[in-house]
Amino acid sequence: MADDDISAKIEYDKATARSLQGTYLFDGMRSRKNFALNKMCMSLIKPENRAAFAADETAYCCKYGLDENTTSLVTARDWIGMIRSGGNIYYVFKIAAIDHVSMQHIGAQQNSMTLEEFRAKLNSHKELDHG
Amino acid sequence: MAEIIGAVTTSHVPSIGIAIDQGLTQDPYWKPLFDGYLPAKDFVKKLAPDVTIVVYNDHGLEVFLDRVPTFGVGAAEEYRSGDEGWGPRPIPSFKGDPDLSWHLIEHLVAQEFDVTMYQEMGVDHGFSVPMSIMFGGPAGEIEEWPTKVIPVTVNAIQFPLPQPARCFKLGQAIRKAIDAYPKDTRVLIMGTGGMSHQLQGERSGFMQPSFDRMFLKNMIADPIALTQIPLGEYMKGAGHEGAELIMWLVARGALNSNIREVYQHYHVSASLTAAGLGCYVNA
């Protein structure tokens, strides 16, 4: 493959992702954007860290070097805000697990819908399946 | 001689694991999905694999963004269900086959697949949910796994993901490695993830049955066409997270050009995910 073709291939995938409204391609650029947020979330796979987070969320975020804005997105459970600011859904979801909140709840908030409205949207895909 | 005796491809949604672990499989919401798994359980029971290679992506148990291996192979004696943030799943640990793992690693690297090697690793829902679906009882219950396992990881957490064609070639390389293993071993390969779903952003909740049906059809008819679809088109057609379908291509690459579909199941939806399953043998 010629060098130009490789560049074109990479750009095609990125441009396609950019064209998808409400999609935040989690590539290197985005991963660099808020490494601290994802690192804090990753720490929550340890029960003792979950306890420390629950005891004082702001102090816990501070310990992981989250900036003030990101900390308030975390404490407000502003899921779409966390995603926009560089959160990766799989890491951010670990906060939801502490709250016993499902991915459907996160999806609803990201869509500015109630849980019922979002579930209706999920169910509506059944009708699109024609075998 | 060792032999790939078949392949299973299936979604690996965490809530499917939660439904199993909390005894909810007969709830009206979950029943159609779990009923659809029953013939697939018969398929693997009849195949009776000695070893199951599970191709999956880690979702933040072993992998953080400080280092992201594109491909990896487990070579541990044992793999435990890890704590992803909501506690480990209450299931038995999985027994490995380190001899076959190291054979696989040697043969993959010799074929220029420079995999990360894991001698200690936990496994997440991407691994354990497909195992429960296929080897658990009707409600996913399990006392002891009837097969040894080898985890094969594919990066799907941070782009750039490996190209679809590369994943297919990894499957072909796995096939060559298994064919060259002298010990009589029946090997099942499982490709997990997908089908269409998007979890992140305002596009979350996106699913596209027409894309999934196209994909299921071409798993049999024209897998090469699937390897030629750019990753951007996977994101467009199957969602940002639906790009996990590349792992089905690893399993497909380990089979012959001509295969027979023994069973297929497609269910919309398991939470945010269009859940698909395919059982295949060489024709």
In total, the C-beta contacts within 8 angstroms joining chain A to chain B are 154
| A85 touching chain B per CB within 8 A | no
Name the pairing type of β-strands B122-123 and B259-270.
unpaired
Query: Nearest residue of B to residue A36 by CA position?
Result: B65
Q: Which of B200, B228, B264, B267 to mutate to test the interface with A (most CBs of A within 10 A)?
A: B200
Alpha carbons A112 and A117: distance in angstroms, whole number: 9
Give me the pLDDT at residue A24, please: 98
Query: Nearest residue of B to residue A117 by CA position?
Result: B205
pLDDT tens for residues A67-92? 999 999 999 999 999 999 999 999 99
The beta strand positions in chain B, using DSSP E, are 2-10, 51-56, 71-74, 78-81, 94-95, 116-118, 122-123, 148-154, 185-192, 259-270, 273-282
Q: How wide is the angle at C-alpha B144 spanned by C-alphas B142 and B146, nearest 5°?
A: 105
Assess whether pLDDT exceeds 90 at residue A1.
Answer: no
Query: Using the beta-carbon criterion (under 8 Å), do B201 and A123 form an inter-chain contact?
Result: no
Regions of chain B short of the pLDDT cut 50: none
Residues of B in contact with A80 (CB under 8 A): 201-202
Q: Please give the ipTM for the structure prediction.
A: 0.97
In which band, very low, low, confident or very high, does the pLDDT at A3 lie, cut at 50, 70 and 90? confident
Residue A104 has its nearest CB partner, among B84, B236, B271, at B271
Residues of A in contact with B202 (CB under 8 A): 21-22, 80, 110-112
Alpha carbons B66 and B48: distance in angstroms, whole number: 39
Give me the pLDDT at residue A4, please: 84
Residues of B in contact with A115 (CB under 8 A): none
pLDDT tens for residues B175-213? 999 999 999 999 999 999 999 999 999 999 999 999 999
| A110 touching chain B per CB within 8 A | yes
Instruction: Name which of B226, B242, B192, B219 is nearest B53 in CA terms.
Output: B192
Query: Using the beta-carbon criterion (under 8 Å), do B85 and A93 form an inter-chain contact?
Result: yes
Max Cα–Cα distance, chain B, nearest Å: 52
The single residue listed with the structure tokens 């080898």 is: B150
Query: Using the beta-carbon criterion (under 8 Å), do A24 and B198 form an inter-chain contact?
Result: no
Instruction: Name which of B97, B7, B93 is nearest B50 in CA terms.
Output: B97
Assess whether pLDDT exceeds 90 at residue A131.
Answer: no
Instruction: Give the pTM.
Output: 0.98
Residues of B in contact with A130 (CB under 8 A): 209-210, 213
